Amino acid sequence: MSRVNVHEFLDFDFAQFGDLAQTWQAYLRTTSDHADTLRIDICKHVAEEHFHSLTAIETRRQFRIVADHIDDDLDLFVKRVRNVLEDAAEEFQSHQSALRQLVDSATSQGLNVSGDGSVTVRPQSPHPLGPYTETGLTGPAVQGMPPLGADDLPERRALAEQAQAAMNNVLTLIAHTDDSLTQRLRSLSDESPSMPELLGKNHSEDAKSAADEVMALWGNGDLTEAQLAELIELLELYEGSPEFATHLLEGLGPDGFLNMSGHIGYMGVDPSSSDTPGLVGDFQELMAGHLSLATNDTDPKVGDSWIDGLMEAGAQPVNSSSFPEAGMYPGYMALGPILTHGTFDERLLVPVTEHLIAVGSAEYGTLPAWAHASDNPFDPTNTLSGSIIDPAFIALDNNPSAATEVFAGDSQYSRDSYPNSNGDPFPSPTNPMESLLGAGQTLPFDREIFGNAMEAATSGVPSDQGLSNINRPEHDERMAQATMNIIDYVGGNPDQFQGSGSPNSELIGNLGNIATHYVEDFHRAFSTDGTQDSNWMVQPHGAGLDFGSYDVNGQQNLKQFLHTIGQDPHTAGQFWAASEGIAQKQLIGVMAEEGNGDGAIRDALASHSRLMGEVGNGQFKVIAEGHWDAVEFQNNMVTGFGEGAKFVSGETIGKIPVAGTALSQGTGYIIDDFSGELKVDPRELIGSDQLTYQDTQSDVIRSRSEEMIEYALNHDDSIYSEIFRDDLDVGQVSDTMVYHFESVFNPERDEHMNPFGAN
């Protein structure tokens, strides 16, 4: 029970409780305004016409629930608090009035009331024998009080007892009121309404119910356009929900998934409907997202057995009762349009791609008629060819990590064997690169699409990002392995890439991009022996390619690879610019380090000259054989040089802050300068004279070397430039660069002797 101090209770202004009750009422009005803002204004911004998805629907619903809680629950809560405060004001003011009357009455009768509510007889004086109290005669006289004689004491005591009884009664009422009001306030806290359920709390159950509804709509096929639209709406509503995606794919099963995709895909090419193709395209794009979610490496997800089942069903004919002709094609053909959308995990893409490669191998057996279809009958856009493997290459390009796993070989996601069309196991391809590019591949595929996937595998970025304005990831061991596989294959099979009629000549542009991405490694491979550990030597961009030190008579695969990219002018110019940028960086490093001399300068530039000699061999070969007109070749080479300049300028690639093509005049100046140096009178190349072409290229090497040296001498990092400026014979250094170039381009020619005797 509460203890009350009489005097403090009498002094307190209990009207404040009433004021506080009004404050709570005002708070309710303000908060109700916030609820209206949430319900009306904010919901308007996320209305159906602006956002249509499961998240948007749930968000709008949650806003309304919160607003309703404010209006309903808070209103009830505030009213209860206000009632307690108003009751407190009324009851305490009543008790205060009763207590005040009691104290005043006791005081007027000569009684004393202490803070704890004790009532005693007040001392009275004067008295003939002195001040007299309940305990005796003491103290001075109290003015204005009647004399208290011994005969008055019993009466005074009786009054005090009566007053004490009344006081105890009032204090008990006050304590009970205080306890009662306190309990009411506490009960409001204990019984306060719960907050709305968290957004998405029941999502898993709702998602599974929606997936069941999709399967019910699908049934055994025979979808109308209206039913297809309803099915698509559910797919869109639960876009991004792994619970929905996993439950749907598990419910359909791999064969059901492909049959459904094939049936609906075939609807898209139905000439009797103008609306269906658009709906089918929407279905395929949405289903791609759900397939991606359900097969990635995060939970929830379908198991590996589901993916194995997908591959087995992929080699089987599509089962469609409404479109029997769809059964002429395998499930993989129906999967194709879906794979071209979104990004799929290595867990799905690696085994599926390897399975398709295995299907196309010569040892697989006789291919059915669909293997040479002109287009994909399940593609409503009519953009896919009839190749069942092209969509997998598109998907690999969209996920470079998956592409790396395929082209590096021996992936953790590989299977030991894959099912053929009879369901029998077929060995996994040991070298996907060789299987695809070699003579053993019988499945047709688009070399450009394949080349893009190959490029993504080695660079770590999708091919459509080009060489400028990209976030260049560091090369890892798997990317480096994929790159070595490509270089070894190209170097060992050059005839497959030479001339426009060769089966793989369309890949040279991709090979050039790969070489540009690994230009640091190429420089290290062609550097003078003993210089790879120099401080100025460029470092690999992550995991390096292990070619060892430069060998005049070795590294044949690498050299043949450079001959191959030299056959395309755009690629040759692009790689030239990238290589020159690295040479410029090395040159600046030499001049920024104390103790280096002319020899270090020559070493810094030697790798570039050797690389250009190998590329020049490829250039001359295609010109000499009549595949390119010399002038046209050089014009295209200048265009490629511009792209290579952007790659190495330091403006787009964070790990190569070089300046070889980013001189103070700007990249554009250097491109123009390079173009001027390559201008050649076509009459000089009549008969495709190698020596004449070599002289032209040698002049460019000499001029470019002199310009790189001049730039390095004036670069801010060249802290010892004055020493070099006084002692350096620029002409001799540029002659050395020409020697390195010519010794590679035409080793038998000895007209230009190395002025320093270096190799």
pLDDT of residue 580: 82
Q: In the structure encoding, which two tokens stand for residue 23, read together?
A: 């404050």
In the predicted model, what is the mean pLDDT of the chain? 77
Taking the domains of the chain in order of start, what are their residue ranges? 6-190, 203-465, 519-745
pTM (2 d.p.): 0.69
Q: In whole angstroms, what is the distance from residue 248 CA to residue 257 CA?
A: 9
Could you give the angle at the alpha carbon of 707 between the alpha carbons of 704 and 709, nearest 5°? 110
CA atoms within 13 A on the CB side of 616: 28
pLDDT of residue 186: 82
DSSP annotation string for 237-268: HTTT-HHHHHHHHHHHHHHHHHHHHHHHHHHT
Q: In the structure encoding, which two tokens stand for residue 439, read together?
A: 């003579």
Beta bridge partners of 132: 124, 137
Residue 721 has pLDDT above 70, yes or no: no
Other C-beta atoms closer than 10 Å to the C-beta of 221 total 16
Residue 752 has pLDDT above 60, yes or no: no
Range with top average pLDDT, 56-70, 135-149, 235-249, 551-565:
235-249
Confidence band of 597 (pLDDT split at 50, 70, 90): confident
Q: Which of 125-134, 312-321, 550-559, 707-716 has the lowest mean pLDDT?
A: 125-134
CA separation, residue 641 to residues 258, 419, 573, 611, 695 (Å) = 47, 47, 4, 15, 20
Residue 664 has pLDDT above 60, yes or no: no
Confidence band of 452 (pLDDT split at 50, 70, 90): very high
Peptide bond into 254 cis (omega under 30): no
pLDDT of residue 435: 81
Among 105, 107, 141, 108, residue whose Cα is nearest residue 123: 141
pLDDT in tens, 537-548: 999 999 999 887
Q: In whole angstroms, what is the distance from residue 613 CA to residue 619 CA?
A: 10
DSSP three-state, residue 188: helix
pLDDT of residue 532: 87
Using CA atoms of 400, 510, 395, 344 in order, give the dihedral in degrees to the nearest 10: 0
List helix spans (H) across 541-689.
556-566, 569-591, 598-624, 630-648, 667-678
Contact present, 317 and 328 (Cβ < 8 Å): yes
Q: In whole angstroms, what is the distance from residue 18 CA to residue 743 CA?
A: 103
Contact present, 697 and 612 (Cβ < 8 Å): yes
Residue 364 has pLDDT above 70, yes or no: no
CA separation, residue 736 to residues 245, 364, 475, 532, 741 (Å) = 65, 55, 33, 19, 9
Q: Which of 128-142, 541-555, 597-611 has the lowest mean pLDDT?
A: 128-142
Confidence band of 337 (pLDDT split at 50, 70, 90): very high
Q: In whole angstroms, what is the distance from residue 191 CA to residue 114 CA?
A: 40
Dihedrals phi, psi of 559, to nearest 5 degrees: -65, -40
Range with top average pLDDT, 194-208, 352-366, 672-686:
352-366
Q: In whole angstroms, what is the distance from residue 272 CA to residue 224 CA?
A: 13
Q: In whole angstroms, what is the distance from residue 378 CA to residue 265 CA?
A: 4
Q: In whole angstroms, what is the distance from residue 645 CA to residue 660 CA?
A: 8
pLDDT in tens, 488-535: 999 999 988 887 778 888 899 999 999 999 999 999 999 988 888 888
Residue 53 has pLDDT above 80, yes or no: no
- Give residue for tokens 């016409």: 49
